[in-house]
Amino acid sequence: MVYKLVKYKKPIVIISGIVILNLLFGFDIRFTIINLLWLLV
């Protein structure tokens, strides 16, 4: 269980950061797509 959390920690942190920034600054589809592409790199 701990190994899975460590493995997926970075994507979880990035996705939660994207959601928080979208809530703070208003939803921007280009910003979201760019950040989701970073997850795939």
Q: Is the pTM of this model over 0.95?
A: no
Q: What is the pLDDT of residue 6?
A: 66
Q: 3-state SS of 5-40?
A: HHHCHHHHHHHHHHHHHHHHHCCCHHHHHHHHHHHH
State pLDDT tens for residues 1-35: 566 666 667 777 778 887 888 888 877 788 777 87
Q: Is the pLDDT of residue 36 over 70?
A: yes
Q: What is the pLDDT of residue 20?
A: 85
Q: What's at 33, amino acid-wise?
A: I
> For the chain, what are the domain ranges?
2-40
State pLDDT tens for residues 24-33: 887 778 877 7
Q: What is the pLDDT of residue 22?
A: 80
